[in-house]
Copies of this chain bind each other. A is one copy, B any other.
Amino acid sequence: MVFQAVNDIHYFVAYARTAQSVHQIDQAFVFRHVLCLFTPLLQTSRNPPRASNMNFCSHCGAPVRVEVPSGDNRPRHVCPGCGTIHYHNPKMVVGCIPEWEDKILLCRRAIEPKYGLWTLPAGFMENGETTAEGAARETLEETGARVEILNLYSMISLPDINQVYLVFRAKLLHLDFVPGEESLEAALFSEADIPWDDLAFRTIHRTLMHYYADRKTGQYPMHMGEIFHKPRPPQS
């Protein structure tokens, strides 16, 4: 932090020296860099900040307020300065079941949460990709394996943590997979060897339960469901 402050002062002085006169110094530029020095004063939590932990407008930097905007029906983070309404929406987790003969490819997590537990290759969908591209990219990153994405097999909403899991069936294209940076190992499992007690997530457990039930029939319809982390109020 001290290094950062010194760095910012140097950056500002260097910028100011390039100006022919004081009038050429852009006020907004100066303000932004001076702001850096005050950053520690503004931190309100010892916990690592989360994206939904919004205190300031990401567009203009003013403090936001939580209010119901005109014509809306739920509270949003609204900037009283520039008027931006900040919407927060669920994220998609995209992954696949890479199949090789009667086996599937799992990976063991090298990161939190659920360090050391097994999962299907999956991760947050990125901007600029399709759902299938995201699932293939996550598989490549976590296991080194290339796959051909087949049909959507499982869509599970997790409304209490604002996620939707989309898991595809996929054809594993080669066997020389290697664990990526976020995986301790990657390995093929037959049904009898699935580490049911060491699976990382309920979404993966449920998806694999469907998968092995469907395999008995040879039909793989899409499964839709939800997993709750908190009690829900009774539906009207």
Q: Given A28-B44, A63-B36 in contact, is the A159-B128 Cβ separation under 8 Å? A: yes
User: Is the CB–CB distance between B86 and A51 below 8 Å?
Assistant: yes
Collect the chain B residues with CB atoms within 8 Å of residue A81's CB.
1, 4, 36, 39-40, 42-43
A42 cross-chain contacts in B, Cβ below 8 A:
28, 31-32, 60-62, 81
A152 at interface (Cβ–Cβ under 8 A)?
yes
- 18 other A-B residue contacts (CB within 8 Å) besides A40-B81, A51-B84, A132-B157: A8-B80, A35-B62, A42-B62, A43-B82, A49-B82, A49-B84, A55-B58, A56-B57, A74-B126, A127-B162, A128-B159, A129-B157, A131-B155, A133-B157, A151-B224, A152-B222, A152-B224, A222-B222
The yes or no answer to A90 lying at the interface (CB within 8 A) is: yes
**How many residues in A have their beta carbons less than 8 Å from beta carbons of B?**
71
Copies in the complex: 2
The answer to whether the Cβ of A91 comes within 8 Å of any Cβ in the partner chain is yes
Contact at A61–B80, with CB atoms within 8 Å?
no
Q: B54 to A126, Cβ gap below 8 A?
A: no
Q: Which of A55-112 touch B at CB < 8 Å?
A: 55-64, 71, 73-74, 80-84, 86-92
Q: Which residues of B contact A164 (CB under 8 A)?
A: 92, 125, 131
Shortest Cβ gap from A160 to chain B (Å): 7
Subset of 6 A-B contacts with CB under 8 Å:
A49-B84, A51-B86, A56-B57, A88-B127, A90-B125, A130-B226
Nearest neighbor of A130 in chain B, beta-carbon distance: B157
Q: Is A217 an interface residue (CB 8 A)?
A: no
